[in-house]
Amino acid sequence: MIEIKNLHAAVNGKEILKGINLKVNAGEVHAIMGPNGSGKSTLAQVLAGHPAYEVTEGTVTFEGKDLLDMEPEKRAQAGVFLAFQYPVEIAGVSNSYFLKAGLNEIRKSRGEEELDSMQFLKLLKEKMKIVEMDSSFINRPVNEGFSGGEKKRNEILQMAVLEPKLAILDETDSGLDIDALKTVSAGVNKLKSPANATIVVTHYQRLLNYIVPDFVHVLVDGRIVKSGRKELALELEANGYEIIKDEINALQTA
Amino acid sequence: MERTKKMSDINHYVKEFQVFEQNGASKTPAWVHDVRKNAFTVFTEHGFPTTKEEDWRFTNITPISKTQFKYASDKLRSNVSVEMFKSFLIDGVQQHVVAVVDGHFSKELTSLLPLPNGVVISSLAEAMVNHAELVKEHLAQYVKMNHNAFTALNSAFIKDGVFVYIPKGAEVTEPIHLLFVSTSAGADQYIANIRNLIIADEGARANFLSSFRSANENKNLTNAVTEIVAKKESSIVFVKVQKESDTTYHYENLHAHQYEQSNVELFSLALGSSIARNDIGIIIDGEAAECNLNGLYIPTGKQLIDHHTLMHHIHPNCPSHELFKGILSDNSHAVFNGKVYVEPEAQKTDSKQTNRNLLLSETATINTKPELEIFADDVKCTHGAAVGGMNQQSVFYLKSRGVSDETSRGILIVGFAAEVTEKISHPAIRHHIDLLVVDHLQTKLGHTNLPEIVHAH
C-alpha cells in the first residue's frame, strides 16, 4: 500500500528524518516506537503533507502514486488519514459541517455523489456509535472546549467517517485515561479491515495492548534501527530503550 | 495656513447652525440652546482634526472635512420601504423597534411591545419636554467635546435621537432595537447628527441592538453620540452594528458611565462606510463594576475602519475585558487604539485587552496600539496585539481531512470571527450578528457556502 524509501526530511533546515525505509501492506498494523525526539511524529506529519517539513531526499509511493507530490487534501482524498496528537480547535464551525465538507470532497474526488445534510447526518450518527460519542457533539464547534479524551475520540470519529485506506495515529494514547484509551482503541479495531492499513506512532507500549501490531519498528535519531514482531514492543516495555543500546551507539559513532 | 484651511471647512457649518437655531428656536428648551451654543463655539475653535493630532494620526478624514454636508431636515427624507426596514430587524424575535431616519425619530416605523411600568422609550426631542429634568441631568454630561470636533458638532445640533429610561429594578426582557437608517440620496450630501441617551437606573436590566443601516448607496455622514448611564447594580448589553453603505462616512462617540456593581457589555460590529471612526469610552465610576468590551471589524476594498477605545478605572475591584478582532482584505485599512487608564485609587483592577488581526492581503494595513496608563500598584493589567495571516497548523488540519484549500480558508475566517462574536451574551442578538458576519464574508470576500456559526455555549 505504502512504500517509503530513504526518506529524509528537515524542519527549519534541521534534518529530522535521516533515511527511513518502510513498507506497509493492506491489512497490516505497524507500530513506530522510539524515544522522544527520534522523529516519530515528524514521519507522521511528513506523510500527511505538513508544509513546515521539507523532504530533502527519498520517495514515498502510495498505491503506485507519488505521495510527496500531492497537497495534503489530495492525500486525504487518495485515502491517507492522520489522527493528530494535538487536534486543532476551530471556533464557530460545527463538527458536522467540517466533516461533511471533508467527506464530500473525498467522495467528489472518487467520482461519487455528494451526500446531502440528511444522508450525512444519518451516516454521522452511525459512526458516532463506534467511538461512543454523544450526539450533542454534532453541532459543537470543532474540538472547542473538548477534553483531551473527547478530542481523541473526535479524531477516530473523523477516521470512521472518512474511511481511509491508510490511517496514521500520532500518539493517540497521549493524555488518555484507561477508559478513554479502551474506547478509542476499540474504535480503531472496529475500523480495521483486510483492505486498509494502520501505522501507530507511540512512545509507550500501553496502546499496543489494545491495538495489536503485526510489526514494530524502533526509530532512533531519524532512522529505523530495529524491526520485529509485536514481542519487540513488550521487550522495549520491560527493558526500556536499553536493549537497542548497541544500535544507538553504532549510530552515534558512525 | 492650517487655521485658514480649517476655517474654510467650518464656515459652511456656521451658516447651517444659524439656520438650524432659527428654525427650531420656539420648540427647544432654553438650556438646550446653551448646550448647542457652547458646543458650536468649541467646534469652531478647533475645527476638524487632522493627522497631525495623535488621536487621528492614522485616520485621514479630509474627505469628511472638505465636504459641505447639509443638515437633513425631516422633510427631506425619502421613504424606506417596509420590506427593507423589516430586513434590518432581528429575524423571528419579538423586539422593541425604535426607528430614526436621517437623524429624525420616526413615529411610523417605531413599534414598541408592552413595557414595564415607568420604562420610557421615546424620541429625544419629545423627552426634552416630557422628561425635562431627567434629560437635563444627564444629557451631554458624560462625553467630552474638547478636542473632539465630531462630538462638538453633534452637540451643537442636538435635537433628536433616542431616549431610553429604565427605572429602578425594572427589566426589559425583549431586545430594544435602535435602528438608524440613512436614506437621503442625490446630488447633495447630508449629515445626520444623532443623539441618544440611555439611562438604566439602579438594578435595571436591558439588552440593546443599535443598527446603523443605509436604504441606498449614499455619501452621507452619520455623526452620532450615544451616552449610556448604568447606575448601581444595573446590567446593560449594548451591541452595535455599523453596516451603512460603503460610500458613507460614519462617526460615533459611544460612551458608557458605570456606577458600583453595574455590568456593561458592549460590542461593535463594523462593516460599512468608506471612513468609519468609533470612539468608545467607558468610565468605571464605582466599585466592583464590570465591563466587557468587544468588537469585530471587517474592512474590504478601500475602507478605513477605526476604533479608539478608552477603559477608565477610577475605583477598586473592577474587572474589564476587551477583545477586538479584525479581518482585513484588499487595500483596506483598520486602526485600533486601546487605552486603559487606571487611577491611583483603583487597586485590584483586573484589566485585559487583546487585539488580533487577520491580514488576508499584502496591501491591507493595520495600525494597532495599546496604551496603558496605570497609576495604581496592585493591579493585574495585560494587553496583547497580534497581526498575522492564516494559522498554518489549522489550515493543515482541515486540508488533511480532504477539505479544499478555499473551503479551509473560509472555515478558518468564520472561526476567527466566531471567537469574538461568542462574547455576546444575548443569544438572539448574537445570532443576528453571526448571520450578518457570514453574509458579509460571502458578499464582500467572495467566499461561497460558508458555515453557519455555532457556539460552544
HEC per residue, chain B:
CHHHHHHHHHHHHHHHHHHHHHHHCCCCCHHHHHHHHHHHHHHHHHCCCCCCCHHHCCCCCHHHHCCCCEECCCCCCCCCCHHHHHHCCCCCCCCEEEEEECCEECCCCCECCCCCCCCEEEEHHHHHHHCHHHHHHHCCCCCCCCCCHHHHHHHHCCCCCEEEEECCCCECCCCEEEEEEECCCCCCCEEEEEEEEEEECCCCEEEEEEEEEECCCCCCEEEEEEEEEECCCCEEEEEEEEECCCCCEEEEEEEEEECCCCEEEEEEEECCCCEEEEEEEEEECCCCCEEEEEEEECCCCCCEEEEEEEEEECCCCCEEEEEEEEEECCCCEEEEEEEEEECCCCCCCEEEEEEEEEECCCCCEEEEEEEEEECCCCCEEEEEEEEECCCHHHHHHHHCCCCCHHHHHHHHHHHHHHHHHCCCCCHHHHHHHHHHHHHHHHHHCCCCCCCCCCCCC
Identify the pLDDT of residue B80.
77
Q: Which of B285, B305, B329 is the last residue of a domain?
A: B285
> Average model confidence (pLDDT) for chain B?
93
* B419 in the same domain as B278: no
Please name the amino acid found at residue B135.
V
| Contact call for residues A154 and A143 (beta carbons, < 8 A) | yes
Identify the pLDDT of residue B117.
96
Identify the pLDDT of residue B1.
45
More confident residue, B384 or A204: B384
* B276 in the same domain as B402: no
Q: Is the pLDDT of residue A254 over 80?
A: no
* Angle A166-A170-A175 from CA coordinates, rounded to 5°: 140
Residues of chain B in contact with residue A87, where contact means CB-CB under 8 angstroms, are 397
**Domain CATH number, residue A141:** 3.40.50.300
- First vs last Cα of chain B: how many Å apart? 57
Residues of chain B in contact with residue A71, where contact means CB-CB under 8 angstroms, are 399, 405
- Tell if the CB–CB gap between A92 and B399 is shorter than 8 Å: no
CA distance A25 to chain B (A): 22
Arithmetic mean of pLDDT, A238-253: 70
Identify the pLDDT of residue B268.
98
How far is B394 from A72, CA to CA, in rounded Å?
12
- Evaluate whether residue B337 is within a structural domain: no
Q: What is the pTM of this model?
A: 0.92
Neighbours of B341 (CB within 10 A): 18
Q: Which residue of A has its CA nearest to B414?
A: A92
Chain B interface includes A91 (CB < 8 A):
yes
Q: Which residues, 6+ apart, have CB-to-CB distance to B212 below 8 Å?
A: B180, B182, B222, B224, B240, B241, B242, B243, B244, B250, B252, B272
Of B392, B393, B411, nearest to A93 by CB-CB distance is B411
Q: Which three cell numbers stand for residue A96?
A: 458536522
Identify the pLDDT of residue A240.
75
Q: What is the ipTM of this complex?
A: 0.94
As for how many domains chain B has, the answer is 2
Neighbours of B433 (CB within 10 A): 24
How far is B252 from B254, CA to CA, in rounded Å?
6
Q: Which of B230, B251, B285 is the last residue of a domain?
A: B285
* B228 in the same domain as B84: yes
Identify the pLDDT of residue A78.
94
> Average model confidence (pLDDT) for chain A?
90
- Evaluate whether residue B123 is within a structural domain: yes
Identify the pLDDT of residue A209.
86
Q: What is the pLDDT of residues B54-64, one digit of tens each?
A: 999 999 999 99
Interface of A with B in 143-172 (CB under 8 A): 144-145, 158, 162
CA distance A70 to chain B (A): 11
Which one-letter DSSP state was computed for residue A63? T
How far is A31 from B112, CA to CA, in rounded Å?
68
How far is A167 from A24, CA to CA, in rounded Å?
11
Interface of B with A in 385-444 (CB under 8 A): 391-394, 396-405, 407-408, 411-412, 414-419, 421-422, 434
Residues of chain B in contact with residue A151, where contact means CB-CB under 8 angstroms, are none
- Tell if the CB–CB gap between A75 and B400 is shorter than 8 Å: yes
How far from B333 is each of B13, B60, B220, B305, CA to CA, in Å?
29, 11, 20, 7
Identify the pLDDT of residue B235.
98
> Can you give the residue range of the structural domain that contains A86?
2-253
How far from A176 is each of A182, A210, B192, CA to CA, in Å?
9, 13, 60
Q: Is B385 exposed, middle or buried (0-12, 13-18, 19+ CB in 10 A)?
A: middle
Q: Which of B242, B270, B285 is the last residue of a domain?
A: B285
Q: Nearest to residue A202, comparing CAs of A240, A167, A169?
A: A169
Q: Is the pLDDT of residue B24 over 80?
A: no
How far is B121 from B132, CA to CA, in rounded Å?
14
Q: How large a percentage of chain B has pLDDT more than 90?
A: 84
Of B399, B419, B451, nearest to A73 by CB-CB distance is B399
How far from B388 is each of A89, A93, B59, B357, B423, CA to CA, in Å?
18, 21, 22, 6, 22
Q: What is the pLDDT of residues B393-413, one digit of tens each?
A: 999 999 999 999 999 999 999
* B241 in the same domain as B99: yes
* B406 in the same domain as B276: no
Establish how many alpha carbons lie within 13 A of residue A154's alpha carbon, considering only the half-sphere containing its beta carbon.
30
CA A159 to chain centre: 10
Of B397, B402, B453, nearest to A162 by CB-CB distance is B402
Q: Is the pLDDT of residue B23 over 70?
A: yes
> Can you give the residue range of the structural domain that contains B398?
392-457
Q: Is the pLDDT of residue B9 over 90?
A: no
Q: Is the pLDDT of residue A15 over 80?
A: yes
What is the rounded radius of gyration, in angstroms, for the C-alpha atoms of chain B? 21
Identify the pLDDT of residue B75.
66
CA distance A242 to chain B (A): 35
Region at A131 (left for phi over 0; alpha for psi -120 to 50; beta for the rest): alpha
Q: Is the pLDDT of residue A228 over 90?
A: no
Residues of chain A in contact with residue B450, where contact means CB-CB under 8 angstroms, are none
Q: Say which range, A21-35, B11-25, B390-404, has the weakest mean pLDDT.
A: B11-25
Q: Say which range, B10-24, B263-277, B424-438, has the weakest mean pLDDT.
A: B10-24
As for how many domains chain A has, the answer is 1
- Tell if the CB–CB gap between B398 and A82 is shorter than 8 Å: no
* B401 in the same domain as B274: no
Residues of chain A in contact with residue B421, where contact means CB-CB under 8 angstroms, are 92
More confident residue, B373 or A226: B373
Chain B interface includes A82 (CB < 8 A):
yes
